[in-house]
Amino acid sequence: MKHLLPPLAWLLWLLVAQPSFLQGNWEIALVLFAAWVLAPEALFLLRLPVRRWYWPIAFGLAQAYYLTEAPASWRALLALPYVVFALWVTVRELAQLFTLPNIQLPDLVRLAALFYWSTGAVFALSFLAEYQPLGFDPMIVSLTAAHFHIAGFVLATVAYRMLLSDPGRITTLCGWGVLAGMPSVATGIVLTHWGFDPVFEWVSALIFVLFTAVLVGWHLNKLRDSNYPPAARLYWFCGTICLLAGIALASLYALRFVYPISWVHIPNMKIWHGTLNTIGFGWLVLRGWRQVKEVTSARNE
């Protein structure tokens, strides 16, 4: 029952926030869902404890987004502890990585997950402080915060657990895909923004979609594997169906330069694609992996 409290708090935040605000800034709700619900789950799966003082930090981030009429400096100050915490954890784990005698792919993927999380936090802070990196529109800055929390942080966490659970060619491919995917797509978006041919953006996005499809296929292949708890497999089935719908929309959006579709645009994408990936895939699949970790820990006791 305790794991339902963060989603319920998020729903309460939605009720308090103005509907007109949410309609135009739905990605903000997704960032908060990631901070309140997904980040604690992911940190647990990355073998990092979530202390009680994390929740006031996450609440401060929510307040920063809610106080839309407050000065940007005040909003940034409220969000700063969340950003500092994410950066501190990332730097600390990076330092510890260099103490390992033999660095393996799971170690790199684990660090990448934290790097994506802290990058998403920095972009959330940039949005709240009304800072526009590289001259991007504020909405793009806000969407970037959401993408690094979900397509980066959550996806890398899932790939990390896959590598630990089932080492092999497929999970290794997913591991390297996590390391290369987000940087490649981000580079393509920046190049398009600078006026270069958008071919690199849509090619890198489609490759990222293919990598995500491999990750979906792995989870679907495990649905009949009795080595994994039934509850975990049910979470995975529901979550991967949501992700399949999400990557279908992402493919259409990536191909907008070649095959434009009128309803495939950012306002619709951040509602449908974003919600499917954040709540549908992110929450459900992480819950499935929590079931696996808890059962495995119980067996080893």
Model confidence, pTM: 0.89
Please report, as a single letter, which amino acid is at residue 297: S
What are 209-264's pLDDT values in tens digits? 788 888 889 999 998 888 899 999 999 999 999 888 887 777 776 666 666 666 66
Q: Where are the alpha helices (DSSP H) in the chain?
A: 5-16, 19-24, 26-33, 39-45, 54-66, 72-97, 105-128, 138-147, 155-165, 169-193, 199-221, 230-254, 266-275, 284-300
Q: Give pLDDT, residue 116.
A: 93
What are 72-124's pLDDT values in tens digits? 888 899 999 999 999 999 999 999 998 988 999 999 999 999 999 999 999 99
Q: Give pLDDT, residue 147.
A: 84
Q: Which residue has the tokens 């509907």?
A: 19
pLDDT > 50? residue 301: no
What are 167-187's pLDDT values in tens digits? 999 999 989 988 887 777 777
**Sequence-separated contacts (24+) of 193-197 with Cβ below 8 Å:** 193/134, 193/135, 193/136
109 CB-side CA count, 13 A: 26
What are 27-60's pLDDT values in tens digits? 888 889 999 999 999 999 999 988 888 999 998 9
Least confident of 23-32, 150-159, 278-287: 23-32
Q: Where are the domains of the chain?
A: 2-300
